[in-house]
Structure 1
Amino acid sequence: MKSPHRTARLALVLCLSLTLAACGSDGAGGSDAVGEDGRVVVTVAIDAGLEQGAVDAFNERVEQFEASHSDVDIQPQEYTWSAATFTSQLAGGTIPDVFTVPFTDGRGLIEREQIADIADQVDRLPYADSFNPTVATAGQAPDGRQWAVPIAAYGQGLHYNRTLFTQAGLDPDRPPTTWPQVRAAARQIAERTGQTGYAQMTSDNTGGWILTTLDYAFGGRTESIRGEKATATLDTPEMTEALELVAAMRWEDESMGANFLYDWATINQDFAAGRIGMYVSGGGNYGNLVTQNAMRPADYGVAVLPLVDDPEAGVLGGGTLAVVSPKTGERTREAAVRWIDFYYMAKLTDKDAAVLDARTLAETGQPVGAPQLPVLDRATFDAARGWVKEYVNVPVDQLRPYTDAMFDQPLVTEPTRSTQEVYGILDTVVQTVLTDRDADIPALLADAQSQAQALLDRG
């Protein structure tokens, strides 16, 4: 049984319940909270609203950390990143010492010095030189110093149903690698199986998310940042080409089915049920499809996203950064990075931790070995996979079209300004293209450009 004071710690600790013996400044604007026992106090984020079992598991991890780091007192604090509240929490100083943010926030927080510079502490980690370079940039300052630690990442992928491929006379071990091949395969699936060949999300901002993914894959971007000035770049040849492809598949090929209001949950449901041949979503979607949507593992395939032959073409990706509050002092930052290393990174870099994590997942019926864009380099990734090989319970060979090439694709983070609002504008664009045969793509993009720029100008 866990001691009751541990659970009580989960309340917000804006004012620490213990009496502080000293608060020492480090000379850089931050200070350390030190308890009467001389331990430095570090508040760390725990997701709000967790079930008691998850709370107990987190508290156990805290106890394990403190047992091997006797100079640190870890204080859990409920925190979940939200775009609607993060800015005010940051300004008000109500965030924990260690918290997480999406990739899209990293560079801005660094440039404004709204997070602590922990690069010196990160440099001392044994895997400091082993970060996946396409991922690490999200947490780097312009000079390349690592102010934030990438702890999870994703890159968009092309998910496909191997059974529908076989029924349509396609080779499930050789999925499409170009957009013309995607179009041809979608048409063949629709004609020979009667199912949707290719589907696309269009609602609840997911339409804008996936349309931006296609825009990146064609070499475009949806915004340009120069200093503090953000310029919308929706009305471009690349975005036009992406929409023309979608329109051709919908109206000329009739390969996109009849549902044009998919969001993330509903497209997963229909794909898992065998009603969709292909769709684009995060490459690490296997776990959701199998555990929450009952997809048969034998049906599942995933490939890297096709990119056009353009040096600007890239894969929309994102992820999570672990960062440290700028109000912390030197001792707190040192302890904070040790916590990040222990709690977030050990299962990726330490054999014992990796095996424990894999065994626990396998015993509870969760997938082990599902594809996810690694935050560390191929050598570290391959070593970790070797440690947990006996617990891998996913169809590894079916994932190779993604995993064999995922390190080679250039990752481009999501737009950083008014991201969800601009996605909402693009929802309307893609819905119109899919429901109106005579949709005027140039006019739609000109209007979207105007709306997006108005949002960006408001900041």
Structure 2
Amino acid sequence: MKHITALLGCAVLLAACGSPTSGESGDVVIRVQGMPPATDKPGLAQFTAMVAEFEKLNPGIRVQGSTSVFDPLTFSAKLAGGRVEEVIKVPLTEPQGLIARKQVQPLTRSLAAWAHYKEFNPQVLRPLSDSSGEVYGVPQAPFAQGLVYNRDLFAKAGLDPDRPPRTWDEVRAAAKAIAAKTGKAGFVHESKGNQGGWQLTMLAYAHGGDISTDKAAAFNSEPVKKALGLLKEMRWTDDSMGDSQLNDQNDVIKRFAAGEIGMYMGTPGTYRLAKMTYGMEDTDAFGIGALPQAGGNATLTGGDVYLVPKSVSAPKAAAAVKWLLFAYAQPQYDPAAAAARAKGLAADPKSAVGVPTLPMFSAAQQARIDAAVAPYVNVKLEHFRPWLEGTPSLTLRPEPPVQAQQVYAVLDTVVQAVLTDRAASVDALLAKAETDVNAKLAAARQ
């Protein structure tokens, strides 16, 4: 998995959705999510150029970009009411539920017409497939979670920036050292916007635990109790997590970019947000290692995926598949396309080219991509090397299979309680959350 890929676009989008308009006579107009926000100038410029190229190659199809972002509170209602685009972008928690409810279209036949379809990494298509093997979408920049850390704060705390923690005992020790010697938060755990539950899932996997099955909660267990107990000790005994505990990913990355946080759980892709969205000036301070372990030998995998709603007409669905292959599959397969995009992005000094992701295709093809992109890489790959070298030995585990966002919402309250109440009972919190989650899973099966 030692590879590099070109930037395809920013992971966090602004919320806005244009209404459909009519194209010229006979044109098929498709609205597509995934357009970068105005703050990502190189990404937006590349997206605009990509649309122009696609329309030139596909006369009769017009593409309207949308910066709409997935919102778990409103998505279901919008989808049911037909108020979404022809191409939707959702996190990897969602496809299995959408497939089970028959709310998205199978795309296997159209995708298989692409000459390189069989070279997809099966691992990245599995979460987008049903039990019969039908594929319902195309992934974008699949990832595996790791431990992001500030190399400068490590050095100031007397730690080796080239050797990030590999166990959670080491994370705890490093967080204490950073807090004591720099006055900064040694480690921060996200806790709101469903991200507290999401990050607890990563911590549970690292401890050998689970969150839920397709029928019941599975987190009221010793591994998860140990994971929450660790957070409680770091927060209240060590005082190594700072004073601000109600954070989502944007809060954490913004503070990290300002040099206020020593470590957090994240992916290589958060480098882009730190640099391009939050103006991290000392980007050489960014480092990332594989997710530390405590008996689980596993990390959480995920990413964004593109799907076509069931309600989309056949002509528009066919156009949507052409767009998905052109925009998200071909550039990650074709060395020349990857190099061209990397070159275009590298022309902007604020871009981030070469940030690692999981491979979309075979190892042999990925090696060709890496070689083509290499001349345009403008990140220090050696600072990503601990993640590149450590992640392949871990089991890649997907997010909870059913109602993941609803499960995360319940677990947010557990994480928040542990981080804000010294007297919080881990056992009591997990027992109550288990009851709440089982009720949600039961309702989802009806």
What's the TM-score bracket when you normalise by the shorter of the two chains?
Answer: 0.7 to 0.9
Counterparts of 1:241 and 1:346, CA distance in 2: 44
Residue number in structure 1 paired with 2:123: 134
Q: After the TM superposition, which of the residue ranges 428-437 and 322-331 deviates more from structure 2? A: 322-331
Residue number in structure 1 paired with 2:135: 146
Residue number in structure 2 paired with 1:361: 345
How is 1:220-235 mapped onto 2 (pairs within 5 angstroms)?
220-225=209-214, 230-235=215-220
- 1:134–1:410: 8 Å Cα contact kept in structure 2? no
- 2:32–2:66: 8 Å Cα contact kept in structure 1? yes
Counterparts of 1:259 and 1:55, CA distance in 2: 33
Cα distance, 1:434 vs. partner?
A: 2.9
Residue number in structure 1 paired with 2:62: 74
- 2:35–2:47: 8 Å Cα contact kept in structure 1? no
Residue number in structure 2 paired with 1:300: 286
Residue number in structure 1 paired with 2:304: 320
Instruction: Name the CA shift for 1:258/1:353 in 2 (closer, same or farther; >3 Å).
Output: same
What secondary structure sits across from 1:250 in the alignment? helix
Instruction: Show CA shifts across 1:126-147 (max 9, x none).
Output: 4323333332211122133433
What secondary structure sits across from 1:117 in the alignment? coil
Counterparts of 1:421 and 1:156, CA distance in 2: 21
How is 1:2-151 mapped onto 2 (pairs within 5 angstroms)?
12-13=19-20, 16=22, 35=26, 41=28, 43-46=30-33, 58=47, 60-70=49-59, 72-76=60-64, 78=66, 80=68, 81-151=70-140
How is 1:257-406 mapped onto 2 (pairs within 5 angstroms)?
257-291=242-276, 292-310=278-296, 314-327=298-311, 333-364=317-348, 365-406=350-391
- 1:349–1:380: 8 Å Cα contact kept in structure 2? yes
- 2:121–2:362: 8 Å Cα contact kept in structure 1? yes
- 1:283–1:373: 8 Å Cα contact kept in structure 2? no
Instruction: Name the CA shift for 1:453/1:170 in 2 (closer, same or farther; >3 Å).
Output: same
Cα distance, 1:445 vs. partner?
A: 1.2
Instruction: Show CA shifts across 1:310-343 (max 9, x none).
Output: 4xx5322322222234456766555433221112
Fraction of identical pairs, as percent: 35
Cα distance, 1:408 vs. partner?
A: 4.5
Cα distance, 1:13 vs. partner?
A: 3.1
What secondary structure sits across from 1:223 in the alignment? coil
Residue number in structure 2 paired with 1:30: none
- 1:42–1:336: 8 Å Cα contact kept in structure 2? no
Q: Number of residue pairs matched?
A: 423
Instruction: Name the CA shift for 1:251/1:275 in 2 (closer, same or farther; >3 Å).
Output: same
Cα distance, 1:158 vs. partner?
A: 0.2
- 1:206–1:423: 8 Å Cα contact kept in structure 2? yes
- Confirm or deny that 1:166 pairs with 2:150: no
- The TM-score normalised by the length of structure 1 is 0.81
- The TM-score normalised by the length of structure 2 is 0.83
Instruction: Name the CA shift for 1:109/1:418 in 2 (closer, same or farther; >3 Å).
Output: closer
Counterparts of 1:342 and 1:99, CA distance in 2: 16
Unaligned runs of 5+ in 1: 1-9, 20-34
Whichever residue aligns with residue 61 of structure 2, its letter is: D
Residue number in structure 2 paired with 1:245: 230
- 2:268–2:355: 8 Å Cα contact kept in structure 1? no
- 2:96–2:402: 8 Å Cα contact kept in structure 1? no
What secondary structure sits across from 1:423 in the alignment? helix
Counterparts of 2:118 and 2:410, CA distance in 1: 40
Q: Which structure is richer in relative contact order (CA contacts within 8 A, separation 6 or more)?
A: 2
Whichever residue aligns with residue 304 of structure 1, its letter is: A
- Confirm or deny that 1:444 pairs with 2:442: no
Counterparts of 1:233 and 1:410, CA distance in 2: 19
Q: Please, what is the CA RMSD of the aligned residues?
A: 3.1
Q: After the TM superposition, which of the residue ranges 187-196 and 323-332 deviates more from structure 2? A: 323-332
Counterparts of 2:104 and 2:91, CA distance in 1: 13
- 2:138–2:329: 8 Å Cα contact kept in structure 1? no
Residue number in structure 2 paired with 1:3: none
What secondary structure sits across from 2:378 in the alignment? coil
Quick check: which has more Rg, 1 or 2? 1
Whichever residue aligns with residue 238 of structure 2, its letter is: D
What secondary structure sits across from 2:302 in the alignment? strand
- 1:79–1:99: 8 Å Cα contact kept in structure 2? no
Counterparts of 1:106 and 1:316, CA distance in 2: 16
Counterparts of 1:204 and 1:334, CA distance in 2: 35
Instruction: Name the CA shift for 1:112/1:428 in 2 (closer, same or farther; >3 Å).
Output: closer
